[in-house]
Amino acid sequence: MAVVLVVDDEPLQSGILKTILEKGGYETHTASSGKEALVLVDRLRPDVILTDLRMDGMDGIELIAAVPREPFEPSMIIMTAHGTIASAVDAVRKGAFDYLAKPLDRDTLLLTVRRAAERATLLKENLRLQDQLFGRVRMEGIVGRSAKMAQAVEVLRKIAPSPATVLVRGESGTGKELVARAIHFNSPRRKKPFTPLNCSAIPEQLFESELFGHERGAFTGADARKEGLFELTQGGTLFLDEIGDLPLLMQAKLLRALQDKEVRRVGGKESIKVDVRVVAATNKDLAKEMAEGRFREDLYYRLAVVTVELPPLRERREDLAELIEYFVQKYNREYGRRVKGVSPAVLADFTEYAWPGNIRQLSSVMERAVLLNEGGVIGEEDIRGELRLAHGQAAPASLEIPDEGLDFEALEKELLRKAMEKAGGVATKAAKLLGMSYKTFLYRLEKFHLDER
């Protein structure tokens, strides 16, 4: 039921309107002044405010200006006498949804209020969907209250509304793409495309075509004209992941595109103006890359107008409990499970663990644990193999993590393969070697297609 607030300093008029609107199916409240209305707005959060133009103290136009637009935006309707229609039109220009001329016609009143309520409902639904979308893209990378994450989030809040290019730095698995999406969906560009590109996954000879497009016949196989990602992302945000892997020749061309805000398709003669915000990310030490001639210094300073540093999970252990709760709820929804959480022993194990794969690894561990758990609470038996902590056994001391990070899933697959080799292909024996339950081990073999013989 939509909520309507009637603001009029004439009690008889307010009473009549309240009766009509309540019979029309609206929850209706009244206020005798603009000051009283503002107090009720804060408490009731009405969908529609129906206010008289002429009132002692604060008039209707002043009330429109004073009503807060966040976190909701009520639809404002001005009531006015015929002699002040021009003022009502001015009120519409200043933000009122519509105006009604006195004496009020009952049917016109109800029609106008219904349209105003529908608008307010659509606005609320849009905000709700935006909140849901932002929630999906932000949680895994930004959830947490540690000092380092709080600092990163504060930077994000400041830079999101701006058009500035951003460089996100952090180890593999720390949530760099999720941060880039959060920047986009909290910016004026949120309704335009967000386009991710992994620079390490594109063959060098295809980079220019991928970013800038090509004309038909530009090279062998170019059977039709293709728009590049800059054109396709017009007005939006282009996320260049693993920017440190961009070839030097393409670095020069990207720099020119950022400086001139225009691109030229491969084989094309005309420059195309583009309005694209670029967010780049890397897990490499770009200072070292520049010193060794693998990354252009001028491109670095063009990209790093603002830099966001994402700490590895081992440096934000105080966030683990909140992250665990998030992933439990997420995978409960996805798999229809009812897992309540993790045991204190598991939380202690997680806190001691180094998490070389960061948030991505934690997500993977929690997904399997939620999926396979049968007791309602995830215990050590559910995660022993995950962290190689069975019976207090830590990871081998000889295991080194390179500066550029590592591919945790590739490491996991290799461990499974070696365990199967050592166990002579006997899964039960291999599971024991890794401290896993037989069920968990089979699940992981299937995941990496190691069960296909």
Q: Which CATH class is domain 3-127?
A: alpha beta
Cα-based distances in Å from 237 to 15, 137, 188, 308: 52, 14, 10, 16
- CA gap 300, 377 in Å, rounded: 47
- Mean pLDDT across 256-265: 93
Element (H, E) at 48: strand 48-52
E strands in 290-330? 306-309
CA 289/CA 184 separation, integer angstroms: 28
Ranges of each domain in the chain: 3-127, 143-311, 314-447
Strand partners, 167: 280, 307
- Please check the confidence at residue 134 and state whether its pLDDT lies above 50: no
The pLDDT assigned to 197 comes to 93
How large is the average pLDDT for residues 118-138?
63
Q: Please, where are the H alpha helices in 161-224?
A: 176-185, 207-212
Question: What percentage of residues in the chain have a pLDDT greater than 90?
Answer: 42
pTM over cut 0.75: no
* Predicted pLDDT at 389: 41
Residues of the chain above pLDDT 70, percent: 88
What is the model's pLDDT at position 122?
79
pLDDT score recorded for residue 108:
92
Question: Once rounded to an integer, what is the mean pLDDT over residues 334-345?
Answer: 90
pLDDT score, position 399:
55
pLDDT at residue 141 is higher than 50:
no
Residue 450: band (very low, low, confident or very high) from pLDDT cuts 50, 70, 90? confident
Grade residue 403 by pLDDT with cuts at 50, 70 and 90.
low
Q: Which residue has the higher pLDDT, 189 or 429?
A: 189
Q: How confident is the model at residue 391 (pLDDT cuts 50, 70, 90)?
A: very low
Q: pLDDT tens digits for 304-317? A: 999 999 999 999 99
Q: What is the pLDDT of residues 13-34, one digit of tens each?
A: 999 999 999 999 999 999 999 8
From CA 440, how far away is CA 436, in angstroms rounded? 6
* 132-141, 288-297, 387-396, range with greatest mean pLDDT: 288-297
Tokens of 195: 């386009």
pLDDT at 84: 67
The tens digit of pLDDT for each residue in 223-255 reads 888 899 999 999 999 999 999 999 999 999 999
Q: 81-88: long-range contacts (C-beta < 8 A, 24 or more apart)?
A: 81/53, 81/54, 84/53, 84/54, 87/53, 87/61, 88/53
For 143-311, CATH number out of 3.40.50.300, 1.10.3720.10, 3.90.1150.10, 2.40.110.10 equals: 3.40.50.300
Q: Decide if domain 314-447 falls under CATH 3.40.309.10.
A: no
State residue 402's pLDDT score: 65
Query: What is the C-alpha separation between 26 and 14, in angstroms, rounded?
Result: 14
Domain 3-127 shares a fold with domain 143-311: yes
Q: What is the pLDDT of residues 107-127, one digit of tens each?
A: 999 999 999 898 888 777 766
